[in-house]
Structure 1
Amino acid sequence: MYAGLMPIDMSNTSRALYYVFQPTVDAPVDEITVWLNGGPGCSSLEGFFQENGRFVCGWGQYTPTVNPYSWVNLTNVLWVEQPVGTGFSIGSVTANNEADVAKDFNDFFLNFQQTFGIKNFKVFLTGESYAGRYVSYISAAMLDRKDPVHFNISGALMFDPVIGNYEWEQTIVPIVPFAVENNNVLGFNASFLTQLQKLDKTCGFADFRKKYLTFPPPGKQPVGGLTNLSCDIYDMVYTAAYATNPCFNVYGVAGQCPLQSDPLGYPTGLQYSYPGQPIYFNRTDVKKAMHAPLEVEWLECKGPVFTSSGGPEGEGDTSPDPIQSVLPRVIEATNRVLIANGALDMSILTDGTLLAIQNMTWLGKLSFQSQPNTSIVITLPDLQYGPTFEANGSPGFEDAQGTMGKQHFERGLMWAETYLSGHMQPQFQPRSSYRHLQWLLGHVEIL
């Protein structure tokens, strides 16, 4: 593995992004897969250490273990803490929008490739959550560079991504059906569910879904936004969930008490860790081993990473939603974009992400024309593990997993709903996420 700070501008080392890079443990490949976490301001070392890296140290673990579903089994992987203001990355925050973020990243990425002697590689951008914006804008900016030697963007993968109107179509509009469907774990009483369903109708959300969560819909969705605070049903559900389950986790609603300790100190926004267990990447020995700046206090999510307030989540990012232009460009240029949503994620809902897709035009047509209904069945014979998995011989992993979601492909875009998964899909369902990567890299054509 390689790790450290790489300047955005080689003539000015005061602004630099922190990275971890690991070439594949399998046969060499002329490709590089970039992983970005979201936030904004959340570290990609979360992905490296708890989702798809060579080793994982997840919630409740005291020590790292080998990850049988590490992405380095298949490809070279680069984890980057970006934008500036995230993790160990250093320098002044100057980004006003996603265009600035993309420029900084691509300047860094060019310096990274030149330093490591990389050229003529296929480039795949991947990430989760707010990185739906990062991946879309950075990929489109790579296309604009017209430099196939260093920016041969060949596909993108986004888990539970912010791609549409996050505070409307991806959360509030679909929350009531989600609450009803998952009430076996949410535990709401009948009167509260009735209240939610009445508000769902009187606030117009039920009619909105009936009209626009169709295949194909009748047209573009009207610009949405919450104008009546009594219709903030999402906040009602979120608050009530903690009443029935004090250990409620919005990123995976099936979680129950007791809270598991997080070696990164950020399981559910509670910054909880076992007594005497420091945040892993703040240990001096770890910082030295990973060539991280000793003077920087590492937090899993911090910031700000934009210069002003506003935009999604009030974080200062005022760029248009990716579905409006940049994401369609990436789909049309690569013919290989995968968007997946975890069925148990309440931070970005599956039907909300589908609503965003149904409001996007690419290759001259609006939306998916057909409803996703093809099962994702994970069986052993057609799951190509890397040598790492075989060497571990972990008991219990050899069996077929079964039906793990739904898939649908149209005009260069693959959709996947992942059953029994929360927000961080490579953490909650690593085997399904491994298959998603295989599709992105062109190893398989169905999930």
Structure 2
Amino acid sequence: MYFLNTSISLIVAATLVGNSHATTSRPRLVVSEADKSKEFQFLTNATEIEIEFFVNGTDFPSVPFDIGESYAGLLPNTPYGDSELFFWFFPSLNPVAKNEITIWLQGGPGCSSLDGLLQENGPFLWQSGTYQPVRNMYSWTNLTNIVYIDQPVGTGLSPGKPTVDNEVDISNQFNDFWRRFIDVFEMQGYKMYLAGESYAGMYIPYIAEGFIEQNDTEHFNLKGIQINDPTINEQNILANVPAVAALNHFSSVFSLNETFMKDINARDEKCGLTKFLNEALTYPPPKNFPVAPNPYADPDCLVWYDIVSAAQLVNPCFNMYHLTDFCPYLSDPMGFPSLAVGPGVYFNRSDVQKALHVPPTNYSLCNETVIFPNGDGSLPSALGPLPKVIEETNNVIIGHGWFDFLFFLNGTLATIQNMTWNGAQGFQHAPTEPLIVPFTTGQVENPNIWDGGSGILGTAHTERGLTFSSVYRAGHEIPQYVPGAAYRQLEFLLGRIKNLQDTGPFTTQP
């Protein structure tokens, strides 16, 4: 049913505090009497530590509007760690969100979650090629309290050298930080959701397992997770094996010459790459699940690298995160890609760092620090904690963008078909139902108003507590490219709608 199963056609869009000491010094904030008099949810009768984290939303650097109530700064991750983690917390005005919070984590490993805030789902956006920040009508704060966290140490605005060797270390340090966060903001008993993308497909299932094992619903009341375009298996399955079939499907985008296409397809056939996919992507999965080809046994089987290299020759600005991008590079306040010309890296500015209560930090989007100097010693999450998290929460969403050429949706589906949870292996039925996103007032009354897309924007299928949802026009970052679909997925994760075929309006209008 998907483009990597070349024997059948695609379902295209034609179907329509503990220890609270600080290990580094940080600027302190004096809150004005005017701010104290406002009805801030977490500043009422504020303690000294809450005031220390309060962000002045009415005068945030380069933002020409009030970004609302928020809190930012550093909290220790001790005793498992020996440093601090940076957070930026945005309370929601939605009364339904009163007793819940969503955690957003970026991947990498070593990429800052502030990328998700500034260019995906935060209350204000400053996306590539735009002049200045704008309000985000699809901000996730419309639905829930949300906190963006740079972790592990050595990522983004979290200073220090990483001290992790595997995902259990990640989970233990995060748990120590999170317990403090809950105590500081008096959120004991809140329902908690974890969401993120890419290498967060490793982070989040392991952190979620750590939450579950704490057996402490006051601080770790986990209710569900969402991981988009996630690292849940080996790169061979997620990237290399599906690459040629994806190239064939998007051949008009790549425009590679006939000689290359014949050669790469001959190599695919010789190595049995698409053959493996066609066998794996059956519903229910085959009793004797096929063994994936080993690309390291024959260099001809390492096809993904050669496809990307050829694509970069034809299109020097080829973007594996969103394959329909072309030259020129757009200016980007996050500093990605490094060749893009722009105003500088926004979160590396001293005035921005001061406003966020962090000491001077050499910020980069994806830190050059090696998070795992000896490699991540943990199993891929699909072979480790992910099935357990599904069984404990019965509320796990795996999202995937079709235009992602880093990880492929059919690599993720092949992984799911070889995974056992809640008493059965894989999906028993083809994941073909539509992902339906309601039309917005902006579209109906004024088609020129930017919005996040509406109608049938992908697929969404749920079995035994696991939902797989693909998004047609999205790349590696679903909220960045198709924010309406990402918003709808979050509504489902939070339990605001019964399924992703629900045709009712958004539960909270942007």
Over alpha carbons, which structure has the higher Rg? 2
- Do the aligned residues in 1 keep the contact of 2:391 with 2:465 (CA within 8 Å)? yes
- Other-structure match for 1:312: none
Alignment partner, residue 40 of structure 2 = none
Alpha-carbon distance, 1:394 to partner: 9.0
> C-alpha displacement at 1:418, in angstroms?
0.4
CA separation of 1:182 and 1:112: change in aligned 2, threshold 3 A: same
- How far the C-alpha of 1:171 sits from its partner, in A, is 0.5
Aligned ranges for residues 260-279 of structure 1 at < 5 Å? Answer: 260-267=330-337, 270-274=338-342, 277-279=343-345
Instruction: Classify 1:305/1:220 alpha carbon distance in 2 versus 1 (closer, same or farther; 3 Å).
Output: farther
In 2 relative to 1, CA 12–230 (structure 1 residues): closer, same or farther, beyond 3 Å? closer
Per-residue CA distance 1:362-401 (angstroms, 9 max, x = gap): 0121111111111112223xx7x9xxx99xx995357972
Aligned residue type for 2:84: A
TM-score, reference length from structure 2: 0.80
Q: Find the counterpart in structure 2 of residue 40 from structure 1.
A: 109
Aligned to 2:405: 346
CA root-mean-square deviation: 2.1
Matches within 5 A, 1:63-78: 63-78=132-147
Alignment correspondent of 1:121: 190
Once the two structures are TM-superposed, the CA of residue 304 in structure 1 deviates from its matched residue by 3.5
Contact 2:320 2:406 in 1 (8 A): yes
Written as runs of structure 1 = structure 2, the 5 A alignment for 1:91-170 is 91-165=160-234, 167-170=235-238
Residue equivalent to 1:444: 497
| 2:387 match: secondary structure | helix
Return the TM-score normalized by structure 1.
0.91
The Cα offsets for residues 399-446 of structure 1, whole Å up to 9 and x where unpaired, read as 972221011100000011100110011101101000010000001122
Name the stretch that deviates more: 420-429 or 398-407.
Answer: 398-407
Match of 1:332 among 391, 394, 397: 391
- Aligned-partner SS, 2:458: strand
- Provide the residue aligned with 1:29 in structure 2: 98
Indicate the residue corresponding to 1:214 in structure 2: 282
Pick one of 260, 264, 269 that aligns with 1:196: 264
CA contact (8 A) 2:137 2:451 kept: no
State the partner residue of 1:432.
485
| Structure 1, unpaired ranges of 5+ | 310-315
Match of 2:251 in 1: 183
Question: Is 1:403 aligned with 2:469?
Answer: no
2:119 corresponds to: 50
1:297-316 to 2 correspondence within 5 Å? 297-309=362-374, 316=375
CA drift at 1:223: 6.2
What is the match of residue 420 of structure 2? 361
Partner residue, 1:83: 152
Aligned residues: 427
2:346 aligned with 1:280, yes or no? yes
Q: What is the CA-CA distance between 1:355 and the residue it aligns to?
A: 1.1
Segment drifting more, 366-375 vs 69-78: 366-375
Q: Is the contact between residue 83 and residue 305 of structure 1 (CA under 8 Å) also seen in structure 2?
A: no
> Contact 2:154/2:162 (CA < 8 Å) preserved in 1?
yes
Opposite residue 418 of structure 1, the aligned amino acid is: V
Residue identity in the other structure for 2:212: L
- Aligned mates of 1:238, 1:95 — CA distance in 2: 31
Structure of greater relative contact order (alpha carbons < 8 Å, 6+ residues apart): 1
Give unpaired runs (5+ residues) of structure 2: 1-69, 501-510
Q: What secondary structure does 2:76 align onto?
A: strand
Over 3 Å counting, the alpha-carbon distance change for 1:26 and 1:50 in structure 2 is same
Shift in CA distance, 67/144, structure 1 to aligned 2, threshold 3 Å: same
Q: Deviations over 1:158-192 (max 9, x none)?
A: 11000111x21100110111101112211112222
Q: Deviations over 1:13-67 (max 9, x none)?
A: 9500001000013225200100000000000000011111000001101211000
Identity within the alignment, % = 39
Structure 2 SS opposite 1:80:
strand
2:355 corresponding residue in structure 1 = 289
Shift of 1:91: 2.8
Residue type at the aligned position of 2:349: R
Provide the rounded CA distance (Å) in 1 between the counterparts of 2:470 and 2:456.
Answer: 11
**Aligned partners of 2:160 and 2:108: how far apart in 1?**
19
